[in-house]
Structure formats: structure tokens, C-alpha cells
Structure 1
Amino acid sequence: MAQTSTQVVCPNCGGTMQFDPTAGKLKCIFCDSLFTQEEAEAFFNQQNEEEEIKESGSDWGDLAENMRAYSCNTCGAEIICDQNTAATKCPYCDNTTVIEAQFSGAIKPDFVIPFSFTKEQAMEKYKGYYEKRKLIPKDFLTGSKVEEIQGVYVPFWLYDGSVNIDAEFEAADKTETDKEIIRKIYKADRRGTINFENVPADASKRMPDDIMDSVEPFTFADLKPFSMTYMPGFLAERFDVEGDDDLQRAEKRVVNSAKQKTKDTVKHDEVTEKRGDYKVNYTKKKYAMLPIWYLTTSWQGKQWNFAMNGQTGKFTGDLPIDNTKLGLITGGSAIAAGVILYLIMKSLLVPVVAALIVALVVCFSLKGSMRPVHNATQANEYMDKNVKLVLSNDTYLRTERKQKQQNNSSSGG
């Protein structure tokens, strides 16, 4: 038996409505009428009260354990999708079908950030993203299907809490004279707390974690109470990673940030952590749907994933490298540096060494620009700027002196 699905229809003409990121309202694709979320919800709730829930009599037999059948309310077709799909497109009428059961009860999201960019804007962002990269192979561009970019509401867990800090550092202030290096050594004790709010971790097994980390940060001041009226026109998923299973990802980030922020409170020339105890206390966990424009394309037997933050427009994704172009740019930079130094110094050793260093720097820099996707290690954007210290004590321990080596300009006989 197919489960219930729905389209949000226009109160004026009965046509299908979709969320318009530009207007921030629902828009009818037929008569162009615009409605606020409150107006659409009122009409939608009235429909549910007046109409009986439609059930399909088709028998699909034994569906796979993780598959479900849903009935499209626009054309009546039954749609097969997996159990975590929350909004999908009907392959027959192309209307977005919202699966009501995925947004109800205990699995109803708490919040949503609506899309701020249209599909056309996302396509332009993607083109601008790869056009800046000079090392991209030409045939990758011809095979890329930019028109297939999709808007997806991705499930995320958002974590609030604090980190209790008890740390000890060895610090030093360094001065130099003509004859010696002087280091004054201190023991620096720090105890305190730092709060964090809305540290995100995606709750979808299908979305690569590093891609989702790389489109951050989100601006959570724009969080809105969840409403299904933001879903039409976009795809969506229900979470398939439990909130407790994502805790470790969030914890690593807040601890790393807490360590660095605590170290920054030690105002000496050299600082080394000798002991650190960072205990994370969670106070709240929220379930939110966050907007992502997502594109997957295949090239030379490999899948390439690209994503854009649907709120901020930040685009990310690893790109293939044309090694011939890389070699020409790297070699050209090295030769130019070597020739300039040779003309200045009239010797070979230093220019050759410098050319090799330039080649390595240019090579790694260019490769890095083509492979920006990474797992997040910090949570600075979601934490207090400073640690609230209850103990900040620097104790002088000793002074160390080291004689400088003297260069003999002449030798006696």
C-alpha cells in the first residue's frame, strides 16, 4: 500500500507551488501567485481537514526492506524511493512530492534554513567556480552536466553546550644579546569554560561528510521553525544517522577550538601545552534541514561531487588536474625564478636551489586550489570568541641562558 504524499497547491488556481528563494515565498508555477508560509500552511491544513487521505490499491509485492512506495497527488503515479527520502520529484509529472510521514511526530525537524539561491544562480556559481581553475582538463567541462544540479534539504544535527577546561602550559619569553639567548620560563595554569551553539554535523549517510563540512559556515540566525511549505521545489531526506552517533564529529571540533583559544590566553613568546583536560557537556540537540545545491558527475571512471551552500552561496568540490598544464606552469615559474637570480648573482648553486623551491611551492599551491574539500577540525564560527577563565596564573620558574656560537674571522698560528 502506498504511503501518503502531498503537493502544496495554489489557493487561486490549484496549480503546484514551489518555494521561491528570491521572493522568500511560495510561488505558483502556473499563475505566478505568491503566498507567505503562514498563508500556505493555513490553506494546506484546511485541505487536510476536508479531504480523505488517498490510498493506492496497487500491490508492489515485496519491496526491498529499505524501499517505500508513495502516491503522487498530482498525477496519481506511485513512486518508489528509499525509506529516508522526504521529498522527491515524480518522474511522470516532474512535480515535487513531499512525504508527510517523514516530517511528522518524533522525526519532525525542529528548524529549517530556506534556500536563498535559485537553480540558475547555483549553475552560474558552479561555472564561476571551475572557470577560475586553470588546471582543469577541457574534456571534463564538456562531460559535466551542470544542468543536473539539484536543491536538497540535507538533515543536520546541531549541538549546543560548553567545554570545561583545565590546562597547564610551559611558556617562555625570549631575548637575545650579542653573546647569548635568554629564555625566562613560566608555568601557565588555565581553568575555565567556553560555550558553543549550533555546531553542525550532517545526518545523511549519502552525503559525504567532507563535502558538507566544506560548505560551512552556515548563519544560524536565519533558522526558522520547520514548515513543509519550504519543501516544494526541492528534494529532501530524513536523517539516517542518529544524533548520538554524530556527537564525536562535533566533539572533536569544539575540543580543538577550545585548545587553541585557551592557548591564545597565554601571552608569551613561546607556548607549549603540557597537560590538558577538555570535557564537553552537551545541553541541547536540534534537528534541522539545511539547504544544499548538489551535483554529481562522472569523468574517467571516477565520481566528482560538488556542493553549494544554499544559504551563503559558498561552492566547493575537488576538481581533476591536467598534469600537462601543471607541469608547464610549475616549470615556467621555476625557470623564471632561476634565471632572474642567476642574472643577479652570476652563480648557479643558489638559483638552482631557489628554482626547485619555487617549483615545489607553486606545485603544491596549485594542487591545493584544485582539491579544497576537507573534514572540518575547528568550530570557531559556532563558539564564544573568548574562554571564560576562572583561573589564569603564570608562575615564573627559571631563566635559561645559551651562548651564541661565535664566527672566527681569522685563525692564529
Structure 2
Amino acid sequence: MLKTKTSSRQAPGRFPCAQCGAVLKYAPGTTHLVCDYCGFENHIEYRAGVIEEYDLQEALRRLSEPHPEAPKAQIHCNECGAGFQFEANIHAGECPFCGSPIVTATGHSKPIQPKSLLPFRIDEPEARQRFQRWIKGLWFAPNAVKKYARSQSKLTGVYLPYWTFDSDTETDYTGERGDIYYVSQPVRVTRNNQTVTEIRRVPKIRWTPVRGHVSRFFDDVLVGASKSLPRKILDALQPWDLEQLIPYDEHYLSGFRSEYYQVNLDEGFDHAKQVMDSAIYRDIAYDIGGDHQRIHQVSTRHSGMTYKHCLLPVWSAAFRYRNKSYRFVINGRTGEVQGERPYSWWKIGFAALAALLLAAGAYFYLESTGALQHSQSGSYYNMPYYQNNRY
């Protein structure tokens, strides 16, 4: 899967219409290319093949070897004859001179090429409707921002690069198990304007040293390999239907932008290990049991590590509010919307003030009816105390 080329000129993939000669574009949710001019459709032939997992340690070893730096590719548009270069992280998009869809080979600039992808399932009009519903439902958003939902700004369809990682983990740990028990002890309270002593049951925690072992196999831990969007947005677009991945086919990229990975393989696995560690800590807490857990030392061993490099579809756009840009993306398979948004601080302040007034009104009402005093004299300390502090 590792490959390096040194040619500085690329012949882009071309998908001409059989009727009028215009370049065809992939139609989301289908298995065919469509001509924007005459409506001709060209079926995309199914490419059989297994979506392979690749050995991670072998790939990292080969990547550590010195490789000649590839010159930046010069692209020649077959429609208008123009020569140009894409941005450093782009390998599919439009010719800046005539707007024709351009798809270039992925092996020129990066040693690891995508071997699978998920095609777009929802088209631009549906994606815009999803965004409109999302932005209209934002609490405490400025009114000017909500008006943006009625605009018809163009969305950009982008295939983003992702890594997936598999790993078989074995973890040894030491910690403490906390079990709640109750003791009776005197408590001084005020009742009917008099201070009295009552015997009440009070919760305590008994800590016991523990050690143990947990194991877990991680399958397809997904890590975004793009730096065009914040990681929190990329992660929030999950889940993806990775079981529907198909072998890489540049026909599905025609009419869309597509990025090279910007997060290298070793960086991606470091992030994947953080995701795995969170799940391992939850396993340890469950294994310790009890009402509370303290985890002191953790030692995890990884084996059988494999990876895939795939492309996943999103619709992307941005809007400006008070000289600041806010980005949002829509999952091109599920329609899930995630993004950045501004807040209206006067709306937040008004809501906070209303909440304080409501709380104050409830307090004075309870005090005037005597309900508050009755509640304070109840058996609060006799209530069972339970808190599960698991990770």
C-alpha cells in the first residue's frame, strides 16, 4: 500500500458524457455519473474486492525509511487546456479556469493511498435542509445567524481522509475498590427554633486495594486525518457505516473535492490509543466493581495492530458573523450536522436572570407556606447514599 512517485505532471481522471462530451459528475445516493447539460447517465461498474487491513508496524517501519520528496504536481485540464496546481492537501476538485471536475492520482504526494471510501448518500438540497433545521434549533444563537438558514449559500462536497485502527489489548492494573457502608452517629440539628441531637445513619466508604487484568479487541477505531476542520467536529460526525465501505473508485470523486491525509499514520495511531485508553479505563472500573473506584497504575500491551486508509463524505460550508468565520459540516451519509456557532450573550443573560427570578419566587413561596421548613426537618440523612464513580 506504500507507494511514492516522482513525476511532476499528472493526467487527471476524465469521465466524458457519451452524448455531448461534457464531464460527468457523481450523483449522490446512486451508482451512476450524470451530465449536468444533457442529463445522460453513466453507470459505475461495481469493483469487487475485499477491504483489507494492513500491518501497522510494517507500514511505520517503511515510512521511517528515507524517501525522495515528490515535486508538487502540475495538473493539465483536458477541457480547457489550462495548467494549474491544487492546494497542497487536495487531489480532487474543479479546474479554476473552466470549472470542470478534476480527479488526480493519490499516490503522487503521499506514500499511503486510500483503498476504500463511502460514496455520498445525501445530495446538496437535502444537506441544506438538514443544516437549516440545525441552525434554527440552536439555543441562544443571535437572530442574524438564524436568518442565514434561509440563504441558499452553496455547500461544498468533500471526501475527507480517515484512518481506522484495530488492536488487541491486554492491560494489567492496580487500584482500590470503594464500598459504601453506614454508621450511626449523633448529629445536631435545629428544629422548632431549638437545637437538638439526633442519631442518624451516615454513609462512609471502605477502600480495599485491588489488582487485576482486562483485555479488549478494538475494531475500526476511527481517526480523522484532515486538519481542515477541528478534531472535535470530525469526531462528532460519527457514527459512520464503515461496514458499507467499497473499494476506492475515482468515479465517485468526480464533481467533489477530496483531500490527502494531513495527520500522519503514527499521529493517527497515537490519537487512536487515547480513544482506546478511555474504553480500557471503563473496563477496569467495571472489573474493580464496588461503588467507587480508584485506578493507580495501568500497563497496556498492543498486538496485531492493523490500519485502513479511507475517504468519507461531508458537505461543508462556513458563514461569517461579526468578522469571524464559523464552519459547519454535514455527514454525507447520515445527515448529522456539526459545527461552530456564535452565542447571543444578551439572550443568555436574560435566561439566567429569568431562572434566578423563578428560583427566588419558588423559595419565597415554599417559605411562606411552611413547606420549606417541613422539608428541612425531614429525614435527609436517612436517605440511602449511592454514587457510582466509574470511568
Does the Cα contact within 8 Å between 2:91 and 2:257 map onto a contact in 1?
Answer: yes
Paired residue for 2:173?
167
AA in 2 matched with 1:27: V
Distance between the aligned counterparts of 2:293 and 2:47, measured in 1?
Answer: 58
- Tell me what 2:343 maps to: 321
The answer on whether the counterparts of 1:170 and 1:185 sit within 8 Å (CA) in structure 2 is yes
Cα shift at 1:335 = 1.0
Counterpart in the other structure of 1:213: 235
2:214/2:283 contact within 8 Å kept? no
1:348-394 C-alpha deviation (Å, 9 max, x unpaired): xx8xxxxxxxxxxxxxxxxxxxxxxxxxxxxxxxxxxxxxxxxxxxx
In 2: Cα distance, 1:335 partner to 1:282 partner:
59
Amino acid at match of 2:345: N
1:81 aligned counterpart, secondary structure: coil
Residue 16 of structure 2: aligned partner: 9
Any runs of at least 4 consecutive aligned residues in structure 1 with deviations exceeding 6 A, and if so which? none
In the alignment, the residues of structure 1 paired with residue 205 and residue 89 of structure 2 have an alpha-carbon distance, to the nearest angstrom, of: 60
Q: Distance in 2 between matches of 1:212 and 1:263?
A: 28
* Residue number in structure 2 paired with 1:199: 221
Cα RMSD after superposing both structures: 3.1
Q: Residue 107 of structure 1: CA displacement?
A: 3.7
3-state SS of 2:240 partner:
coil
Displacement, 1:129? 0.9
- Give the superposition deviation at 1:281: 3.5
Show the counterpart of 2:26. 19
Deviations for 1:187-216, whole angstroms, at most 9, x for unmatched residues?
433213211122122222333222212212
Q: Kindly tell me: are residues 266 and 40 of structure 1, through their superposed partners in 2, closer, same or farther at Cα, counting changes over 3 Å? A: closer
Please state if 1:332 is matched with 2:339.
Answer: no
- Map of 1:6-405 to 2, 5 A cutoff? 6-38=13-45, 68-100=73-105, 102=107, 106-142=111-147, 147-176=153-182, 178-179=184-185, 181=203, 185-281=207-303, 283-346=305-368
Deviations 1:248-291 (A, max 9, x none): 11111111111112212333122221322123345212111111
Mark the runs of 5 or more structure 2 residues left unpaired by the alignment. 1-7, 49-69, 186-200, 373-380, 383-391
Contact 1:113 1:222 in 2 (8 A): yes
Contact 2:74 2:83 in 1 (8 A): yes
Preserved CA contact (<8 Å) 2:172 2:214:
yes
Cα separation, 2, equivalents of 1:292 and 1:300: 26
Evaluate the alpha carbon distance shift between residue 116 and residue 39 of structure 1 in structure 2; reply closer, same or farther with a 3 A threshold.
closer
TM-aligned CA deviation for residue 322 of structure 1: 1.0
Structure 1 residue 320: deviation in Å? 0.6
Q: Aligned residues: percent identity? A: 21
Structure 1 residue 83 displacement after superposition: 3.3
Question: How many aligned residue pairs are there?
Answer: 329
- For residues 105-164 of structure 1, the C-alpha deviation after alignment (integer angstroms, 9 at most, x for no partner) is 954311101111111111111111110014211233456876232110011111111222
Question: Is the CA contact 2:72–2:109 (under 8 Å) kept in the aligned structure 1?
Answer: no
**Match for 1:155: what amino acid?**
P
CA distance in 1, matches of 2:158, 2:71: 20
Tell me if the contact between 1:171 and 1:270 (Cα under 8 Å) persists in the aligned partners: yes
Q: Given residue 308 of structure 2, which amino acid in structure 1 is its aligned partner? A: K
Q: Which amino acid aligns with 2:104?
A: I
Task: Name stretches of at least 5 consecutive residues in structure 1 with no aligned partner.
Answer: 42-64, 351-403, 406-413
Would you say the 8 A contact 1:2–1:78 is kept in 2? no
**Corresponding letter in the other structure for 1:153:** Y
Report the Cα distance in structure 1 between the residues aligned to 2:173 and 2:297, rounded to whole angstroms: 5
Given that residues 126 and 146 in structure 1 are in contact (C-alpha distance below 8 angstroms), is that contact kept between their aligned partners in structure 2? no
Tell me, yes or no, if the aligned pair for 2:119 and 2:313 is still in contact at 8 Å: yes
Give the TM-score normalised by structure 2: 0.75
1:166 to partner: Cα distance: 0.5
- C-alpha separation between the residues in 2 aligned to 1:186 and 1:86? 58
Check 1:101–1:221 CA distance in 2 against 1; reply closer, same or farther (3 A cut).
closer
Q: 1:241 to 1:105 in 2, by over 3 A?
A: closer
Specify whether residues 281 and 327 from structure 1 end up closer, same or farther in structure 2 by C-alpha distance, changes over 3 A only: same
1:36-72: CA deviation from partner (whole Å, max 9, x where unpaired): 431799xxxxxxxxxxxxxxxxxxxxxxx98643122
Taking a change above 3 Å as real, the CA distance of residues 340 and 240 of structure 1, as seen in their structure-2 partners, is closer
Give yes or no for contact 2:110–2:260 (8 Å, CA) kept in 1: no
Q: 1:264 to 1:146 in 2, by over 3 A?
A: farther
Contact 2:73 2:108 in 1 (8 A): no
Q: Which residue of 2 aligns with 1:387?
A: none
Q: Does structure 1 conserve the Cα–Cα contact (< 8 Å) formed by 2:47 and 2:247?
A: no
Q: Report SS of the residue matched to 1:346.
A: helix
CA contact (8 A) 1:173 1:270 kept: yes
